[in-house]
A and B are shown apart, each in its own frame.
Chain A
Amino acid sequence: MNKQLALKVNGKFYSLMVDPNRTLLEVLREDLSLTGAKEACDSGGCGACTVLIDGRPVYSCLVLAVDCEGKDILTIEGLASDGHLHPIQEAFIHHGALQCGFCTSGMILSAKALLDENPKPTEEDVRKAIAGNLCRCTGYVKIVDAVLAAAETMGKAGK
Chain B
Amino acid sequence: MQELSLVGRSVPRVDALEKVTGSAKYGVDLELPRMLHAKVLRSKHPHARILSIDTSEAEKLPGVRAVVTAKDVLKEKFVVAPTGVPDAYPLAVDKVRYVGQEIGAIAAEDELTAEEALGLIKVEYEELPAVFDPEEAIKPGAPKIHDKERNINWEVDTEYGDVATGFKEADYIVEGRFAMQYVHSCHLQPTLCIASFDSSGKLTFWENSNDAYFRHRLIAKALGIPASKVKIIQKFMGGNFGSSQCESSPYVITALLAKKTGRPVRLVNTRAEEFMSARPRMPIITYLKTGVKKDGTLTARHFRVIATNGGYSGYGPMMLVRGFAACVGLYRCPNVRFEGKCVYTNTVPVGAYRAFGATQQIFAVESHMDAIAEELGMDPVDLRLKNATKTGDVTVVGQKIGSCGLQECIEKVTEYTRWGDKRVKKQPNRGIGMACTMYDSDSRIADFGGSVAYVRVWEDGRVEISSGEYEWGQGSHTVLSQIVAEELGVPLDAVDFPELDTELRPYSLGPYGGGRVTITAGHAVRLAAIDARRQLFALAAKMLGVRPEELELKDQKIFVSRAPEKAVSIADAADYGKYGLPGAEVIGKGVYDPDTVLPDLKKFYGNYSSAYSFHAQIAEVEVDPETGRVKLLSLASAVDLGKAINPMAAEGQVEGGVAQEIGTALTEEIKYEKGIVINPDFTDYKISTAMDIPPIKSFLIETNEPNGPYGAKGFGQATGMPTAAAIANAVYNAVGVRVRGLPITPDKVLKALEEKRGGK
B188 at the interface (CB under 8 A from A): yes
Chain B nearest CB from A58 CB (Å) reads: 17
Q: When the two chains form their complex, are residues A102 and B648 in contact, meaning their CB atoms are under 8 A apart?
A: no
Known: A34-B22, A75-B22. A137 touches B29 (CB 8 A): no
Q: When the two chains form their complex, are residues A99 and B656 in contact, meaning their CB atoms are under 8 A apart?
A: yes
Contact residues, A90-146 vs B (CB, 8 A): 92-96, 98-105, 108, 126-128, 130-144
Q: When the two chains form their complex, are residues B20 and A40 in contact, meaning their CB atoms are under 8 A apart?
A: no
Q: When the two chains form their complex, are residues A41 and B238 in contact, meaning their CB atoms are under 8 A apart?
A: no
Q: When the two chains form their complex, are residues A141 and B23 in contact, meaning their CB atoms are under 8 A apart?
A: no
A45 at the interface (CB under 8 A from B): yes
Please encode chain B, from 1 to 37, with 1 for each CB lying within 8 Å of some chain A CB and 0 for all others: 0000000001011011111111111101101000000
Interface centre among B18, B28, B185, B189 (most CB of A within 10 A): B189
Please report the number of residue pairs spanning A and B whose Cβ atoms sit closer than 8 angstroms: 168
> Which of B18, B20, B270, B648 is close to A42, meaning CB atoms less than 8 Å apart?
B270
Contacts of A142 in B (CB 8 A): 648, 651-652, 655
Known: A46-B682, A136-B239, A139-B656. A36 touches B23 (CB 8 A): yes
Contacts of A38 in B (CB 8 A): 26, 28, 188-189, 238
Known: A42-B271, A96-B648, A136-B656. A36 touches B22 (CB 8 A): yes
Number of interface residues of A (CB under 8 A): 55
Interface centre among B16, B25, B660 (most CB of A within 10 A): B16
Known: A76-B22, A131-B691. A100 touches B651 (CB 8 A): no
> Which of B20, B190, B652, B689 is close to A137, meaning CB atoms less than 8 Å apart?
B652
Contacts of A76 in B (CB 8 A): 20-22
Contacts of B588 in A (CB 8 A): none
Contacts of B51 in A (CB 8 A): none
Contact residues, A46-79 vs B (CB, 8 A): 46, 48, 75-77, 79
A17 at the interface (CB under 8 A from B): no
Q: When the two chains form their complex, are residues A137 and B691 in contact, meaning their CB atoms are under 8 A apart?
A: no
Q: When the two chains form their complex, are residues A99 and B474 in contact, meaning their CB atoms are under 8 A apart?
A: yes
> Which of B17, B21, B473, B683 is close to A100, meaning CB atoms less than 8 Å apart?
B473
B219 at the interface (CB under 8 A from A): no
Interface centre among A30, A89, A94, A102 (most CB of B within 10 A): A102
Known: A100-B237, A101-B15. A130 touches B187 (CB 8 A): no
Q: When the two chains form their complex, are residues A134 and B682 in contact, meaning their CB atoms are under 8 A apart?
A: yes
Known: A76-B21, A85-B20, A130-B690. A137 touches B10 (CB 8 A): no
A80 at the interface (CB under 8 A from B): yes
B472 at the interface (CB under 8 A from A): yes
B681 at the interface (CB under 8 A from A): yes
> Which of A48, A75, A104 is close to B19, meaning CB atoms less than 8 Å apart?
A104
Contacts of A37 in B (CB 8 A): 22
Q: How many angstroms between the C-alpha atoms of A143 and B660 in the bound complex?
A: 16
Q: When the two chains form their complex, are residues B20 and A96 in contact, meaning their CB atoms are under 8 A apart?
A: no
Q: How many angstroms between the C-alpha atoms of A138 and B13 in the bound complex?
A: 13
Q: How many angstroms between the C-alpha atoms of A85 and B22 in the bound complex?
A: 12
Q: When the two chains form their complex, are residues A102 and B691 in contact, meaning their CB atoms are under 8 A apart?
A: no
Q: When the two chains form their complex, are residues B655 and A136 in contact, meaning their CB atoms are under 8 A apart?
A: no
Q: When the two chains form their complex, are residues A101 and B271 in contact, meaning their CB atoms are under 8 A apart?
A: no
B283 at the interface (CB under 8 A from A): no
Contact residues, B154-194 vs A (CB, 8 A): 185-190
B687 at the interface (CB under 8 A from A): yes
Q: How many angstroms between the C-alpha atoms of A57 and B703 in the bound complex?
A: 46
Q: How many angstroms between the C-alpha atoms of A99 and B705 in the bound complex?
A: 26
Q: How many angstroms between the C-alpha atoms of A138 and B160 in the bound complex?
A: 39
Contacts of A108 in B (CB 8 A): 20
Q: When the two chains form their complex, are residues A136 and B682 in contact, meaning their CB atoms are under 8 A apart?
A: no
A43 at the interface (CB under 8 A from B): yes
Known: A39-B28, A40-B189. A138 touches B656 (CB 8 A): yes
Chain B nearest CB from A52 CB (Å) reads: 13
B676 at the interface (CB under 8 A from A): no
Please encode chain B, from 632 to 655, with 1 for each CB lying within 8 Å of some chain A CB and 0 for all others: 000000000000000011011001
Q: When the two chains form their complex, are residues A140 and B693 in contact, meaning their CB atoms are under 8 A apart?
A: yes
Complex: chain B residue closest to A77, CB-CB: B22
Complex: chain B residue closest to A93, CB-CB: B16
B659 at the interface (CB under 8 A from A): yes
> Which of A29, A41, A77 is close to B682, meaning CB atoms less than 8 Å apart?
A41
Q: How many angstroms between the C-alpha atoms of A35 and B18 in the bound complex?
A: 12
Q: When the two chains form their complex, are residues A141 and B683 in contact, meaning their CB atoms are under 8 A apart?
A: no
Q: How many angstroms between the C-alpha atoms of A100 and B649 in the bound complex?
A: 12
> Which of A77, A126, A137, A139 is close to B693, meaning CB atoms less than 8 Å apart?
A139
Complex: chain B residue closest to A29, CB-CB: B29
Q: When the two chains form their complex, are residues A99 and B681 in contact, meaning their CB atoms are under 8 A apart?
A: no
Chain B nearest CB from A98 CB (Å) reads: 5
Chain B nearest CB from A138 CB (Å) reads: 5
Known: A127-B691, A134-B687. A101 touches B656 (CB 8 A): no
Q: How many angstroms between the C-alpha atoms of A79 and B25 in the bound complex?
A: 17
B696 at the interface (CB under 8 A from A): yes
Complex: chain A residue closest to B695, CB-CB: A141
Q: How many angstroms between the C-alpha atoms of A21 and B691 in the bound complex?
A: 33
B236 at the interface (CB under 8 A from A): yes
Interface centre among B26, B237, B473, B474 (most CB of A within 10 A): B473
> Which of A29, A40, A94, A134 is close to B190, meaning CB atoms less than 8 Å apart?
A40
Known: A40-B188, A48-B188. A93 touches B20 (CB 8 A): yes
Contacts of A126 in B (CB 8 A): 690
Q: How many angstroms between the C-alpha atoms of A78 and B744 in the bound complex?
A: 43
Contacts of A42 in B (CB 8 A): 270-271
Q: How many angstroms between the C-alpha atoms of A41 and B269 in the bound complex?
A: 10
Chain A nearest CB from B438 CB (Å) reads: 21
B658 at the interface (CB under 8 A from A): yes
Contacts of B19 in A (CB 8 A): 98, 101, 104
Chain B nearest CB from A33 CB (Å) reads: 8
Chain B nearest CB from A124 CB (Å) reads: 8
Q: How many angstroms between the C-alpha atoms of A125 and B24 in the bound complex?
A: 29
Q: When the two chains form their complex, are residues A35 and B29 in contact, meaning their CB atoms are under 8 A apart?
A: yes
Chain B nearest CB from A126 CB (Å) reads: 8
Contacts of A140 in B (CB 8 A): 655, 659, 690, 693
Chain B nearest CB from A137 CB (Å) reads: 5
Q: When the two chains form their complex, are residues B20 and A98 in contact, meaning their CB atoms are under 8 A apart?
A: yes
B475 at the interface (CB under 8 A from A): yes
Ranked 4 nearest A-B pairs via Cβ: A36-B22, A100-B473, A102-B238, A139-B659
Residues of A within 8 A of B (CB): 29-30, 33-43, 45-46, 48, 75-77, 79-80, 85, 89, 92-96, 98-105, 108, 126-128, 130-144
Question: 19 A-B pairs, CB-CB below 8 angstroms?
Answer: A35-B25, A40-B190, A40-B238, A41-B271, A46-B682, A76-B20, A77-B21, A96-B12, A99-B13, A99-B239, A100-B189, A100-B472, A128-B691, A133-B690, A134-B188, A136-B185, A141-B655, A142-B651, A142-B652
Residues of B within 8 A of A (CB): 10, 12-13, 15-26, 28-29, 31, 185-190, 236-241, 270-271, 472-475, 648-649, 651-652, 655-660, 681-683, 687-691, 693, 695-696
Apart from A36-B23, A100-B473, 5 more pairs, CB < 8 Å: A92-B16, A98-B20, A136-B656, A136-B687, A141-B696
